[in-house]
Structure 1
Amino acid sequence: MATAELDDLQLDLTRPGFYLRPDYFEILAALRAAGPAHRTVDGSWAVTRYDDIRAISRDPARFVSSRGVLINDPMRNDGSAVPNTFSILHLDPPVHATYRRVVNRQFTPRAAARLEGTVRAAVDEALDRVDPTVELDAVDELASTVPIAVIAELFGVGDADRDLFRRWSDAVIATPDAAGDPLAAGADELGQMADVLLAHIDSPAGDGNDLLAILKNADLDGRPLNRFEIMGFCMTLLVAGNETTRTLISGGMEALHDHPDQRAALADDADLLPGAVEEMLRWVTPIQAFGRTAVVDVDLGGTTVGAGEFVVLLYASGNRDEAAFGPTADRFDIRRDSTPTHVAFGFGEHLCLGAALARLEARLFFEGLLARFPDYELTGPVERTRSTLINGAARMPVRLRP
């Protein structure tokens, strides 16, 4: 993209359609080359370089999360929280670490490994239902089924809640980008979710090892969590656990379909899968962006970000930064060196809690898929999700052939 074209660009990151432009990655490359930060239509700053994204993410003293982290976050209006809501995403040190410790041990690699049987069963269940003579939607019938099954297991709820979890998760994702009053959008779905979650929360705590029991029995500096804090944890984990992994799986399927030689290599050698999952994460980057607010004036590579200004960390741009990943940053390569680490899970104190679990789910899904259906075929165009948060597919028609 030429400099003149970049100057004329309306950099409107608040509009979901911007991320679906056919030249989106070309724009990101031009922005990286032109400077460290760029003014957007709404007065925010777009940050596109890998090193700057990491530096801001590990500097919560100067770049805070408590004034909103989503591009269209309702909290950005006046810097205050929405009444009766709580999210760990909006917390800064030292409070953030206090809350994160409540659930940290449930999401370590060792804890995730204990769910391997659940994940394998969910993968087998989804693949067992496949009719190789019929086209199916890979998002709805494959990619979404595994994380929802795992979430149901984590929360200790029955299979009947799985479809509800999927609908609620989608409603939460869509709400900030809705036209008009975002808090009114999806009110029915979100109200139903709140009612059901609060009913679970208000039931006797019990001594179980599921997340709800752990949250209800948690000690937060000498006091129990209140019901809105518990519901906030549940909503955050429900959405993050579903949307991120679903997008990783569907996006990984598309990437391997577009690179049949690498798909064949994975089908022949499952030992390549851990590295391939990391490359899928880098390439797909399920989360488009999160934001931070500067609380002091900050010099960012010669550009001054003023106190009170919002910066948008464009993770997909960081993950294709030539300065970090070399001249092949714009190519999908399952054998890529895993150093440096991608920023698909964010970086710093807000690094995704469920990273180890998402990796496990993706690895076992592709292990099962490629063992049974190594020559699957996309049979039509992929319908993209219109979102400022999720870089995902809403529908992906495929046919799985043994």
Structure 2
Amino acid sequence: MKYMATYDLMETARNTNQWLGASALALGSYPALSLWPNPLFKMVAAWGEVAERTFARMVAKPDWNINTVVGEDGRDHIVSVEKRVTRPFGDLIQFQVHGRPQKPRRVLLVAPMSGHYATLLRSTVASLLPDCEVFVTDWHNARDIPVSMGKFDVEDYTLYLVDFMKHLGPDTHVIAVCQPAPLTLAATAYLAGEEPAAQPRSLTLIGGPIDPDAAATDVTDFGRRITMGQLEQLAIQRVGFKYAGAGRLVYPGLLQLASFMSMNSDRHSRAFSEQILKVAKGEAGDHDKHNRFYDEYLAVMDMPAEFYLSTVERIFKRREIARNAFTVAGRRVDIGAITDVAVKTVEGANDDISAPGQCIAALELCTGLPDDKKASHLEPGAGHYGIFAGKSWRNNIRPLVLDFIDGNSAAPEERRAQFKPV
């Protein structure tokens, strides 16, 4: 599979489907066809509209679309996205709220690098912005990163997080969502051992696979069944000639999307069939529920091959985080070194990706942390998406997380004095 031609053929298939959709839309909408009032033409145009939008989304990075936030003064304050740290594989960005006094809560939201852009956390950011200064890890699409920029694996990811935390300083509260939870825990432990003055105040881990073996899911079962050789053969390709990262080994976003869709194929097929009928009847809108969801869901990014493979091998198969045996540049990262960073875990009772038990395992690993610095929450009835972006997050989890942040905002004076800003 490691051929540019394979990647280019996959992109060609996507592009062809987008073109067929546009052609069907134009044909079905041809004015002269109105002389023969036949519902078939409306169905052709509706299929074309949905198909064109579907396949066009797959290569477009969504916009954050967070333009204003209401302040305590009742005014709308302009929001701009500012880069604070720039790196080849990802940036640290801030949602700068203009004309508003700075909020005491400083939150670093660690976004997943698991196939979707950081904009997957758009609603999470929007819900935190009225009460916090929000920073986000904005990971880049690997297809756009030249081979000359080198590799990027789980150790590099961890060191990126270390740099971002050091840049923001010890007054930061970190929230890691899903996939980055184990590596964010490791980055915090790395700072505890190497530069304790730069540790954040608190760490909230939401639905992450700290110990994948704690509860079985389709994801963990897949990780056990397949060998690393099989995975490399089936999933890894070289970026084609169209992009700046030509020749880079990646796990392509389109392959990831096919995997995502296959997990709930019946539901997705029904959703698209219903949308085509709505478009034909004139009942669909550009920003209706279907389009809002799939504009984000279908926008996928390539992952560096070494990051994907090392995640499967080291986090899922060898369980290096769960066994407290993770190393960075040959040095062991001892999670027990975390002694004064408050840690909270959040799980969804119906999470079928990172099942209950996987994330709360972090608290057992923090052997040096007092019990009064540990907390956990299991949200009844919540699935994976709901615990960070759905109704469960808005109504129940977000208030608990903000209370946890407020309860652990006091800084040890010696840590303040020792910290040297980056």
- Smaller-chain TM-score bracket: under 0.3
Query: Which protein, 1 or 2, shows the higher relative CO under an 8 Å CA cutoff with sep ≥ 6?
Result: 1
What is the TM-score of this pair, normalised by structure 1?
0.24
Structure holding more strand per residue: 2
Larger CA Rg, structure 1 vs 2:
2
What is the TM-score of this pair, normalised by structure 2?
0.23
